[in-house]
Structure 1
């Protein structure tokens, strides 16, 4: 059972990721039905002895296998377009942060608060705690409030990076000289891990991302403490 659990998506932590998982399941159902139908037809062709010596053209079947795939594509395309618009929507963010990719670490700036910025490096193995995750834990986590609309402005200082957190349904390239933005809302507390998903150099797999979702009160306490440092 543990092996099968690793083959799917991570547990959703945002409404966007929930919609992505729903769309994946919807598409997989369509693909399974198509595969089953085609497999059944091929099986009947291989294992029966029926022949038709006078079959010259099949206008009916040609109409069916032209219209049916078109309808199937519509059933896949409409939810896909809806989801694309949802992923690009930015709804009056309450907190804005800026994530800047470097070789090979991330730096964060909390634009809504004075003097709250820090660098986030991967923790080396010899500094990990007993419950830490190798190659995933960082020295400074990105603290964000749950049930709050968050906007992240993403850029890079040197080469192209990618700010990616699978459980939030977030993946955006960090490009030098350009600002990309993503918007999300976390609906539960926890630690959410990600990694740079762009081949940005020799150590690109060693610049992880850790977002810690906390209550609004805990976030305000952390911000006030961080501003005084």
Structure 2
């Protein structure tokens, strides 16, 4: 049975955040809110989290996870940035963007693109997501909360708990956080390419 954790969307209770982070350190898979939708999250060091997400979402081993970072300094540990990308991405974060960039050696090989050696990273603007990643001290390995038979993520915490009670360890409920996904920008060839238009304004990268 998943633990249900009700937190304030703007000022999340430190004790609740600490409890969820301890679960993450103990190999838990959680559902948490971001600035674009709810998402699955586990520790980057989790031995089971990625496979559990794949099973729940019916994904194959080619699915690209996103590293959700606390701030730009942390993001810079996991991806390579030239000066142009640095300035443009820093100006757009925190926010509803996912950036696909060349991975550093800090990224476990199994989470980088097999051929391109890239990885998706983002810094969400949601206070709860920010609090979780700051407390954890490392990025969350993350994937949008999409069911195999649904086109949009779930938004109601209790409904999420009911549907996923047997397959996740905790649901962090901070109220409705929308269903529009992030805008995805690839920046692995020296210039940005918008791969998906979502919540973030794509015009700054076109």
TM-score by length of 2: 0.26
Which structure would you say has the larger RCO, counting Cα contacts within 8 Å and 6 or more residues apart?
A: 2
TM-score by length of 1: 0.24
Larger Rg: 1
| Structure with higher helix content | 1
